[in-house]
C-alpha cells in the first residue's frame, strides 16, 4: 500500500475523529453539573473492541468494554471533561443531532471502519444505525466529500453504504491505513 499524506496514518489523532464512531452508531452520555461526557459504541467482534480502545488511548482517552445484548460489545470512553465540547456538538438535550460543522477526517473514517466496516463480495460496507434518516444521508455525503462516493444499500447488509469501484476501494484503503490486528478479513482489499 502506498502511504498517503492525507490518510489516517499521517494525521495526529484528534477528539474530532470520534465523529466516525457516531456515524457507526455511537452515542453520547453527558453528566449535567459535572461537566463530563462519555461516548459508547457497540461492536460485533473482539478485534474491533481492542482496536477502538487502542485508538481511544491514542487520543488520551481511557476506555473499557462491557457485554451488550445480542452478543455485542460496548466500547465506552471514560467520563471526561475533554469530551464535553464534542458531545455538545452532537446532542440537543437527550437527543442525538447532526452537527452543522460535520467534516469527517481520514482518522474518523478509520474509526468508522473499525467499528462497523466489512468487506463483502461486491466491495466494502460501512454500516450506519438508521435507514434513510438524517445521519444516514450525512454519512453518504461525508463519503462523497472524501471522494468515496458509495451506494446506499438500504437493508441489504445495512443500513449503510457500499464502496464498490476498484479506484474507490484503493482510495479507502489509502485513507484508513493498515488493518488493526485481527481485522484483516474485514479490511478493504488492496
Question: Would you kindly state where each structural domain of the chain is located, as residue ranges?
Answer: 8-184
Per-residue pLDDT at 157 exceeds 70? no
Q: What is the pLDDT of residue 2?
A: 41
The C-alpha atoms of residue 116 and residue 111 are separated, in whole angstroms, by 9
Give the model confidence (pLDDT) of 96-123 as tens digits: 889 999 999 999 999 999 999 999 989 9
Give the model confidence (pLDDT) of 47-74 as tens digits: 999 999 999 999 999 999 999 999 999 9
Residues β-bridged to residue 64: 76
Per-residue pLDDT at 132 exceeds 90? no
Residues β-bridged to residue 124: 119, 163
Per-residue pLDDT at 190 exceeds 80? no
The C-alpha atoms of residue 124 and residue 79 are separated, in whole angstroms, by 33
| Averaged pLDDT score across all residues of the chain | 90
Q: Greater confidence, 34 or 45?
A: 45
Q: CATH number of 8-184: 3.40.50.10330, 2.60.120.10, 3.30.530.20, 3.10.28.10?
A: 3.10.28.10
Q: Let me know: does 162 contact 125? Beta carbons within 8 Å.
A: yes
Per-residue pLDDT at 174 exceeds 50? yes
Q: Stretch 20-31: mean pLDDT, rounded?
A: 94
Q: What is the pLDDT of residue 5?
A: 45
Q: What is the pLDDT of residue 158?
A: 72
Per-residue pLDDT at 85 exceeds 80? yes
Percent of the chain with pLDDT over 70: 92
DSSP string computed for 126-162: EE-SSSSSHHHHHHHHHHHHTT---EE-TTSS-SEEE
Amino acid at each position: 500500500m502506498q502511504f498517503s499524506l492525507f490518510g489516517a496514518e499521517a494525521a495526529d489523532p484528534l477528539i474530532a475523529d470520534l465523529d466516525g464512531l457516531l456515524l457507526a452508531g455511537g452515542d453520547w452520555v453527558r453528566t449535567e453539573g459535572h461537566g463530563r461526557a462519555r461516548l459508547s459504541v457497540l461492536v460485533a467482534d473482539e478485534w474491533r473492541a481492542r482496536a477502538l480502545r487502542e485508538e481511544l488511548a491514542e487520543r488520551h482517552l481511557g476506555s473499557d468494554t462491557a457485554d451488550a445484548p445480542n452478543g455485542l460489545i460496548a466500547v465506552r470512553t471514560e467520563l471526561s471533561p475533554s469530551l464535553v465540547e464534542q458531545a455538545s456538538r452532537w446532542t440537543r438535550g437527550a437527543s442525538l443531532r447532526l452537527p452543522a460543522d460535520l467534516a469527517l477526517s481520514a482518522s474518523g473514517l478509520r474509526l468508522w471502519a473499525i467499528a462497523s466496516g466489512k468487506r463483502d463480495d461486491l466491495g466494502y460496507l460501512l454500516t450506519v444505525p438508521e435507514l434513510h434518516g438524517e445521519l444516514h444521508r450525512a454519512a453518504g455525503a461525508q463519503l462523497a466529500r472524501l471522494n468515496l462516493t458509495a451506494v446506499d444499500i438500504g437493508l441489504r447488509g445495512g443500513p449503510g453504504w457500499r464502496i464498490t469501484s476498484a479506484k474507490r476501494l484503493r482510495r479507502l484503503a489509502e485513507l484508513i491505513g493498515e488493518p488493526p490486528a485481527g481485522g484483516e478479513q474485514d479490511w478493504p482489499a488492496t
